[in-house]
Amino acid sequence: MNFLEEKILTDGVVKEGNVLKVDSFLNHRIDMAVMRGIADHFMRAFSDAGVNKVLTIEASGIAIATLLGHLLDVPVVFAKKSETANCTDDKYVAQAYSFTHRRHNSVFVSRPYLTADDRVLIVDDFLADGQAAHALIDLVRQAGGQVVGIGIAIEKGWQQGGRLLRQEGYRLESVAIVDAMDWRTQTVTFRPRESRD
Ligand code: 5GP
Ligand 1 center from residue 86 Cα (angstroms): 24
Does ligand 1 come within 6 angstroms of the Cβ of 107?
no
Does ligand 1 come within 6 angstroms of the Cβ of 126?
yes
- Give strand pairing partners of 98: 103
Does ligand 1 come within 6 angstroms of the Cβ of 24?
no
State how far the Cα of 124 lies from the Cα of 55, in Å rounded to an integer. Answer: 9
User: Which of the 8 DSSP states describes residue 35?
Assistant: H
Ligand 1 center from residue 98 Cα (angstroms): 7
Rounded to 5°, angle at Cα 27 from 23 and 28 = 70
Does ligand 1 come within 6 angstroms of the Cβ of 105?
no
- Give strand pairing partners of 172: 150
pLDDT tens digits for range 37-47: 999 999 999 99
Under a CB-based contact definition with an 8 Å cutoff, are residues 39 and 68 in contact?
A: yes
* Per-residue pLDDT tens listing for the chain (197 residues): 999 999 999 999 999 999 999 999 999 999 999 999 999 999 999 999 999 999 999 999 999 999 999 999 999 999 999 877 777 779 999 998 876 677 788 999 999 999 999 999 999 999 999 999 999 999 999 999 999 999 999 999 999 999 999 999 999 999 999 999 999 999 999 999 888 87
Pocket test for ligand 1, best of 58, 78, 100, 172 (most atoms within 8 A of CB): 100
Does ligand 1 come within 6 angstroms of the Cβ of 130?
yes
